[in-house]
Amino acid sequence: MISVLVVDDSVVVRRLIVNALSGDPNIEVVGTAANGRIALAKIETLKPDVVTLDIEMPELDGLATLRELRKRHRPPRVVMFSTLSVAGATATFEALAAGATDFVTKPANVASFGESQRMIREQLIPKILSLGGRRAPGAVNPVRRPVRPAARLGRVSAITIASSTGGPDALARVLGTLPANLPVPVLVVQHMPPVFTRMFAERLDRSCAVHVVEAADGMAVTAGTVYIAPGDRHLTVTGRGPAVTARLTEGPPENSCRPAADVLFRSVAEVYGGSTLAVVLTGMGQDGKRGAEVLRAAGAEILVQDQATSVVWGMPGAVAGAGLADAVLPLTEIGGYLTTRLATQLVAQPKVVLS
């Protein structure tokens, strides 16, 4: 059983979460708390595997609670509850920086208690099962693939990256190593809702040498820029050579995700083919695996983050397990590998800023 402590100052929200989790046989709610101070005391005695934590609470809010937890030996995994708003997104990114593992958004403008409970169940249970160490359905042991000889690694035309749970921190660390004169575009799917992706792109742009934007429909895809797929839209590319354009669609979710890495990977394979360098970072589920199959068939190079440094080794594990990865690397080595791989293509140019 995965033990969970539910922390929220709202009695209604606590009841919603408890009821939503009670139907899963692998999860046991061991307690609730109305603020961070009570939560810290209960964490000390109950030692839960996972804590669901509200951000705004009296006495000790979610951010202050997280900072206290970081001082402790082996703190539990923390899933933040956030509002789908600019303020909620800002606080959530601060929480992720303070040590939260992941987040879910609170239901908004939902008429019935039952519908709210369903929405929480669908968002929260898969995250808790993954963070609690439950193996994802269909996961397989990794298949070792011979490393492709350096002589067979050709010129790179584009980088594409997929990530989910644990991805914000992983992406910040990888993109933070890339130079301003990056000679290729970078196309990214990070599973996030609307508003969050825009603010995430803005935060990355402030902290990275390379330019980072939330992709917009019809935007030119150029070297030296990172394009983040917006929440609730699939990101694809179209065109050839220097005239590649970003396209956003409202197609059906894949792997219960929109944006989905599979959609982006298939599109990138069609436009850039074997000159693509794909990276699959930490995340739950298997989004990216089918797209990686298409990329592999096109001759693309594929890297995945290793299990030891992944928050959840679902997405990278699925790609590695299918024998599709050229290399399985710790997070600390991925950015350096990308920079080294592109070293011969680097040219002197300023950071590109799009209006």
CATH number at residue 187: 3.40.50.180
**What does the pLDDT look like over 123-151, one tens digit per residue?**
899 999 988 865 444 444 555 555 555 54
**What does the pLDDT look like over 253-268, one tens digit per residue?**
999 999 999 999 999 9
Quote the CA–CA distance of 235 and 15 in Å, as a whole number: 37
Sequence-ordered alpha helix ranges (H) in the chain: 11-22, 36-46, 62-70, 86-97, 113-131, 167-175, 196-207, 261-272, 289-298, 315-321, 331-341
Is pLDDT above 80 for 109?
Answer: no
Is pLDDT above 90 for 299?
Answer: yes
Asked which of 75, 98, 131 is the last residue of a domain, the reply is 131
Strands in 77-82's sheet, in edge-to-edge order, are 27-33, 2-7, 50-54, 77-82, 102-105
- Mean pLDDT on 2-12: 95
- Do 122 and 179 lie in a common domain? no
Examine the residue annotation and report whether 191 is marked as an active-site residue of this protein: yes
More confident of the two residues 319 and 84: 319
- Do 114 and 183 lie in a common domain? no
Catalytic residue selected from 116, 164, 267, 310: 164
**What does the pLDDT look like over 154-198, one tens digit per residue?**
899 999 999 999 999 999 999 999 999 999 999 999 999 999 999
Q: Which structural domain, as residue segments, surrounds residue 210? A: 150-345
- Do 114 and 36 lie in a common domain? yes
- Mean pLDDT on 322-333: 95
Examine the residue annotation and report whether 164 is marked as an active-site residue of this protein: yes
Q: Is 52 a domain residue?
A: yes
Is pLDDT above 90 for 46?
Answer: yes
Q: Is 263 a domain residue?
A: yes
Examine the residue annotation and report whether 169 is marked as an active-site residue of this protein: no
Q: Is 138 a domain residue?
A: no
Q: Which two tokens stand for residue 315?
A: 């997405």
- Domain total of the chain: 2
- Do 203 and 85 lie in a common domain? no
Q: Is 100 a domain residue?
A: yes
- Do 301 and 234 lie in a common domain? yes
Catalytic residue selected from 61, 287, 306, 326: 287
Residue 85 banded pLDDT, cuts 50, 70, 90? confident
Catalytic residue selected from 9, 49, 169, 191: 191
